[in-house]
Structure formats: C-alpha cells, structure tokens
Amino acid sequence: MIYRTAEGDAERIAQSVQLTDNTAVALAQCHNGTTSPRPVTHRTAQLRDRSKHVRNMAGSLIIAFGNPLRCDDGLAWRAAEELSHLALHARIMRCHELTPDLALPVSEASTVVFVDAARDGDPGTLKGRPLHPEKQSSAFSHEFSPGSILSLAHELYNARPKAFVISICGECFDHGEKLSPKVMDTLPKLVALVEQILGREPQPTSHSA
C-alpha cells in the first residue's frame, strides 16, 4: 500500500491500517532449509511461557533500522529521535540491520512498528502496510527482513504481535548524514503516522506494590 505525500496522508494511512491479529503465521526457515517446526523442548516451553507472561505487561516496540552514515538510509534513526520526545509508552530500538536476537523484544511487545528507508518508488513517498511473518528467502542468507523476525518470534516464543512497516522512499544513499530535502519534508508525516498507529493501542497498566 503506497500513498503519495500530501496533506492528511498520515491520518489516512493510519485509518486504513487495520489493527487485527495475525492468524496465518509462517514458521521461520532460517539456516535449516526445512518446513518442519522444531521440536518443542522443555527449554522452549519455558521460554514461551515466559514470553507470554511478559507480553501481558508489554507495550509497543519501534525498531528503527538503517545506516545513519548513508544519508537517506538513516531516516529511521532521525524518526526515532523525534518519536523519543513523544509520550508513546513505547520502547524504541535503533540498529544498523535486523538480526535474529530482535525476536525476543519483538515477542515481548503487543505491537511492533518497523521504520526504515525504501529504495524503490518515488523519493519522498510515504509507505505504510501491515506486516505478516515470512520465511527466510535463503537458508544461507545473513540478511533478515521484518517478516522473518516476526517468524522467529513466533517459532521461538509463540508470539503473534501486531506489526507494521512504515517507510519513506529515499533519494540519496551516498556517504553522509544529511537527509535529502524530499525525505526531510515527509519525515513529520511518518512520525505522525507512527504516533497514530501506536495511539490506538491500550497502554500497559501499572500495578503498585
């Protein structure tokens, strides 16, 4: 789902993204090349029970990934900085690339939003879509997608958080720390979109001792 950047785009995308549970979940196939799920060991069962308990108290998670030294590829880091000043009750993680260890924090969240720079499309275009688990494209690949991280969270921790990918099409990916003008102009709309999506989520209840 792609929307041109125009007045009111952020609100329109937020309204169009349905916050529904994922019912069809594909198990991850990372580095094993098989469609069979791994045996549920006692240790795995313990991890899943722990993850379920943590998710009952969890809030939202924002994962901003990209290279802040590659111009527009660093837009997620800039967005994370802006989002950190808002009262979202969300954990914000910044990373250069997605790695398997992210499956644990993803499993502990009720809603996950991945933010990054897109390389296809017209520069400055804002994109937003619901995310579903997906198997790793190759057993020998070291690159993980947001969908494959969701699959790992399900396989390892039996977690099914609602998830979304929000991005802006970049224009320049050369060495540098500045965002291109088109991306910079669209950044506030991306921040507003993430805020609206997470604003729909019920906040975790605090219990006093």
The CATH number for 166's domain is: 3.40.50.1450
Q: Provide the pairing of β-strand 126-130 with 2-3.
A: antiparallel
Residue 205 lies in a domain: no
Total-model pTM: 0.71
> Is residue 190 in some structural domain?
yes
Predicted local confidence at residue 26, as pLDDT: 32
Instruction: Let me know if residue 19 belongs to a domain.
Output: no
Residue 101 lies in a domain: yes
Q: What is the pLDDT, as a whole number, of residue 143?
A: 77
Q: What is the pLDDT of residue 136?
A: 66
Task: For the sheet with 60-65, list strands across it.
Answer: 2-3, 126-130, 162-169, 111-118, 60-65, 90-95
- Low-confidence residues in the chain, pLDDT < 50: 1-10, 13, 16-40, 50-57, 139-141, 202-209
* Chain centre distance of CA 31: 22
Note whether residue 179 is domain-resident: yes
Q: Is 93 domain-assigned? A: yes
Residue 199 pLDDT: 84
- Asked whether residue 17 is domain-assigned, the answer is no
Is residue 207 in a domain?
no
Q: How many CA atoms lie within 13 A of 177 on its CB side?
A: 2
The reported pLDDT for the residue numbered 15 is 55
Give the chain's count of helices (H) and strands (E).
6, 6
> According to the model, what pLDDT value does residue 42 have?
54
Q: Could you tell me whether strands 2-3 and 60-65 are parallel, antiparallel, or unpaired per DSSP bridges? A: unpaired
Residue with tokens 């967005």: 79
Provide the domain limits for residue 69: 2-12+24-32+42-199
pLDDT in tens, 36-69: 444 445 555 555 554 444 444 468 999 999 999 9
- Alpha-carbon distance of 67 to 83, in angstroms, equals 18
**Structural domains in the chain (count):** 1
